[in-house]
Each structure stands twice: as C-alpha cells, then as structure tokens.
Structure 1
Amino acid sequence: MARHRLHPERIVQNWNDMLRVAGSLKLGTVTASRLIRTLQRDGRPTTLGKAIGEYGRIYKTIYLLNYLNDPGYRRRILTQLNRGESRHSLARAVCYGKRGELHQRYKEGQEDQLGALGFVVNAIVLWNTRYMSAALQNLRVQGQMMDLTDIKRLSPVGHDHINMVGRYSFTLPEEIAHGDLRPLNRGSADSF
C-alpha cells in the first residue's frame, strides 16, 4: 500500500543533528521559519531534512496502520472531524454577511474580527449548553428514561433554532436578569 520504503540509515546517520534541532526548537534558540530555510536548499531538502522526513514517515505509517486496523479509532477520528466541521458551520452562520471571510487589511483588524466571531460562537455554545442541560434535567424530573449514548451525541453547536438575521433586543426580561432561564420549549417529541 505504501508508495515509499523507509530509509533508516538516513535517520541513524543524522540522529545527533536531529537531536540538536529538537533541542534548539525546544529551547527557542532557533525559530521554526529559520529552521525550515536551513533544511532546504533551492527548494530541495538537505540531508538533515531528508532524515527528519524519514523519521516522520515512521509515525505516519503507525498512524495509517492503526487507522486501517481499528474501526473504533476511525469512528473517533470521524467524530472529531464532525465536531470541528459543526463548529465551523456555526461560525459561518454567524459570519453570514461576508460568507465567513475576513476583510480587514491589517492584522489587528483581523484579530478584532476573529475575537468578535469567537465571542459570539462561544456565547451560542454556552446558551445551548445551559438549555440542553435544563432540558435533560426536566426530562429526568418527569421520569423519562434517557440513553447515555444518546446524551453523549448531543452537541451545543447546533444553530437552526437561532434567527441570525432577525431583530435583536438587548433588554433582558426580569427572570433572565435574575439568573433564571427562559421557559423550555414544550414541543412534541417529533420536533426533536
């Protein structure tokens, strides 16, 4: 399945230099960008660069073999990918006016946009988490049986219930100002 064979002799011959590179990075005596320039000449890897590449292939091979051999591992990776994509989907929905693109030309402006986007996304996740917790508690009080695997699959990044382009009121109702939650939606079981 693999396209390349490992060349362990490159690793053995350059092992001491590889340790020096790792130590330099760890201690901060060399920057990553300078190291990358050092590991290449005219766009081609140096001998040390090739050795580091060979060392990386060991871990890449182990990862691929684990991925192919273990269905549970594949499911965990897919779950993480789905979680990441769900978060990106929420961020795109929040930043709908510019299709999720940053349009500030300067770094500080982009940082401000990203900070505001992260703040709103985190607020939505917090809001959803509090209400999901309240809904679960309400079901427990009613004596509903809940499957733990179903609860584990709940995600606070859903946003279909949020009107992103509606009117917004920033005056808090009295009960919310005192720390209470809004009444839970008592929709039918089909609405879940």
Structure 2
Amino acid sequence: MGGNPPVHGDHQAQGNDGLGHLPEAQLLFQTEQSIHSTQGVRTHRQTLFILRYIDRVDLRMDIEAMLNKVELANRFTRAVAVGSPREFIFALQEDQQVAEACNRLIKNAIICWNYLYLETRPRAADPETHAEMMKTVKAHSPQSWAHINMLGEYDFSDKTLADSFGILPLITSP
C-alpha cells in the first residue's frame, strides 16, 4: 500500500471521511465528555457555594434579605392586581399587555407617592425625630401599600388633583 492513497472504504475504516471530519459516534463521545466536564465544573461551583453559605452568616443574611424583597414585590403585585394575578382574564395578548402595563403604572405611582412622602415628611420633623425617621426609612421598602385603598373609588377631577406637595406642572415651551 505504501504511498498509494487509500480508497473510500479505507477512509471510513480510519475514522474520518477523507476531509478531516470525525465520524458521528466519535463526535458524540467528545460532546458527551465536554458536557460531563462542564457539569463537573458546575457541580464543583455549587458545592463551594453551599459550603460558603453554611460557613458565612453574613451571606445567609444577605440572601434572606434579597428573598424577602422578592417576596414583598410578589405580594405587592398581588395586592395591586384585581382578581388573581396568576390567571389570564383577557383572551387577546394585546389586552393582557395593556392590563400588565396598567398594573405596572399603578405600582410605580404608589412607589412614587411613597418616595415623595418619605422625602417631605422627615424634612418637616425636628432633628431628633428626623434621625429616628431616617432609621425607619432605611429599614423599610418603598413598596408599601397598606395606606392605599386598593378597592376604593378615586376622583381625579381638577378640584381633587390640587398639588399638595408643591410640585409644579411641567412648563411646555410655545
């Protein structure tokens, strides 16, 4: 055989198609090895994280605080939504998107109101009360809704929309 090029059948016996490509079985084997290697790295990282989680109190507290914030956001969403927020009451996707945008707008308006209140209220307080209020503000989230009547009827007439915070309307240029 010496210097003669192998025939087509010999290429397959050698494990390639003559163009340097590996047969499918060998490619699958290498892919599987790569996946196992990646899973091993992932498992190693997960194990290290679990050991850090067990060892470090501050990490556990940070994770717990974050989970509490997520749960608060979920409860806030349920409070704003009329009915069950997990059920789709609209058949069309466009209607669902409008409902979701309205819910988001209501939540953002409540949070904005809370920030405005939390900004102005401590300013009007005496220094001792101000310091105590700031500690309370730092310990709580602006995602609070207990002071909002979610099932009430709201009047947005010009008379009731009088600016109680002194926020001037936007000036539009002529």
Same fold (TM over 0.5): yes
What is the Cα deviation at residue 101 of structure 1?
A: 2.9
Give the counterpart of 2:131 among 137, 146, 155. 146
TM-fit CA distance, 1:156: 0.8
Give the structure 1 partner of residue 119 of structure 2: 133
RMSD after superposition: 2.7
Name the residue aligned to 1:161: 147
The yes-or-no answer on 1:67 pairing with 2:53 is yes
For 1:111 and 1:48, locate their aligned partners in 2 and report how far apart those are by CA, in whole Å.
Answer: 42
CA displacement 1:11-43 (0-9 Å, x = unmatched): xxxxxxxxxxxxxxxxxxxxxxxxxxxxxx9xx
**Aligned counterpart, 1:174:** 162
Change (3 A) 1:176 1:46: farther
Structure 1 counterpart of 2:106, which letter? V
In the alignment, structure 2 segments of 5+ residues that lack a partner are 1-27, 169-174
Query: How far apart in 1 are the matches of 2:110 and 2:86?
Result: 17
Aligned residue in 1 for 2:23: none
Other structure's SS at 2:119 match = helix
TM-score, structure 1 as length reference: 0.60
Amino acid at match of 2:60: R
Measure how far apart 1:175 and its partner are: 2.8
Aligned residues: 136
The structure whose Rg is larger is 2
Contact (CA 8 Å) 2:123, 2:130: kept in 1 or not? no
Taking the aligned partners of 2:165 and 2:119, their CA distance within structure 1 comes to 19
In 1: Cα distance, 2:56 partner to 2:64 partner: 13
How far is 1:146 from its partner?
Answer: 2.3
Q: Check whether the contact 1:102–1:113 (CA below 8 A) recurs between aligned residues.
A: no
Alignment of 1:80-119 (within 5 A): 80-119=66-105
Q: CA deviation at 1:149?
A: 4.8
Where does the alignment leave 5 or more consecutive residues of structure 1 unmatched?
1-40, 181-192
Mark the CA change 1:136 to 1:177 in structure 2 (over 3 Å): closer, same or farther: closer
**1:79 matched residue in structure 2:** 65
Cα distance change, pair 50–105 in 1 and its aligned pair in 2 (3 A) = farther
TM-score (norm 2): 0.65
**Cα distance in 1, alignment partners of residues 165 and 58 from structure 2:** 45
Judged with a 3 Å threshold, the aligned counterparts in structure 2 of structure 1 residues 113 and 174 are, in CA distance, closer, same or farther, namely closer
When residues 135 and 177 of structure 1 are mapped into structure 2, their CA distance, relative to the original with a 3 A threshold, is closer
Name the aligned partner's letter for residue 127 of structure 1.
Answer: W
Which string of whole-angstrom CA distances, capped at 9 and with x for unpartnered residues, describes residues 75-97 of structure 1? 11111111111111111011032
